[in-house]
Amino acid sequence: MKAQQLFDVQGDVTFITGGARGMGQAFAEVMAANGARIALYDIDGPALEEAAAALRATGAEVITTQGDVADSAALRAAVDATVAHWGKLDSVFANAGMSAGRGYALSEAGRLEAVDLATWERVLQVNLTSVMVTMQAATPHMKAQKSGRMIVNSSVGGLRVEPQVGYGYSATKSAIAHIVRHAALELAPWNILVNCVAPGAFRTNLGSGRLNDPAIAKIFEDMSPLKRIASLEEFKGLMLLLASPASSFMTGTVIPIDGGAMVI
């Protein structure tokens, strides 16, 4: 089989949270470049429309919804509206997330006794509950068509201890990895594949773009044997794999994409 067939997502419909920038935008770009139709959900209205305009300029079909993933009712409605618009839902990328602030290795505010519980609750809602809601909202549509792919964004910070990141971030990203395994087992009879990516250091706006600080960037560069921070272009290949027929026998996986950080 040729690569073009293996990675064929032509005409697919995908729903992406946090789709206006970063990894969500990167996934939207690679899917659109290969003929998929894109539904973007993001809290940042101007960034959302800018991302959509860039995709439409390439000929892609795109719909957008501005909303907070912490608003569960709005998030469910956006998934339903995507199916109402295009008649199906082939893949979702539960990507939206937020930083919990600097961890205890970088800030006194990151120490256990200093963790702000209001921030903790917000991080749980954005990073964890929204993933569950996205998956819940997609499930009946994918069950009805007896197919679908759910991709969830975790982090290597959820697979190992990284004292550079906050407690809320590491806790939610760890929980996500286990939810994916649980859902993969339940949904397998409907041919719904559920997988998780666990990125290492990529240049995104998470944490207010803290990797733009050379001192912080050096810490994260040294966490990888490759000694560098990845570009978002390097995220696209794995994501296209998980959304395409090439991954037809993959489910319940948690895949690091981290420059080898997990082996140190």
Q: Is 104 a catalytic residue?
A: no
CA distance 93 to 12: 13
Letter for the amino acid at 154? S
CA distance 217 to 207: 12
Tell me the pairing of strands 37-42 and 13-17.
parallel
The b-or-e profile of 51-78 (16+ CB within 10 A means b, else e) is: bbeebeeeebbbbbbbbebbebeebeeb
CA distance 36 to 64: 15
Residue among 41, 104, 167, 169 flagged as catalytic? 169
| Catalytic residue positions, numbered | 169
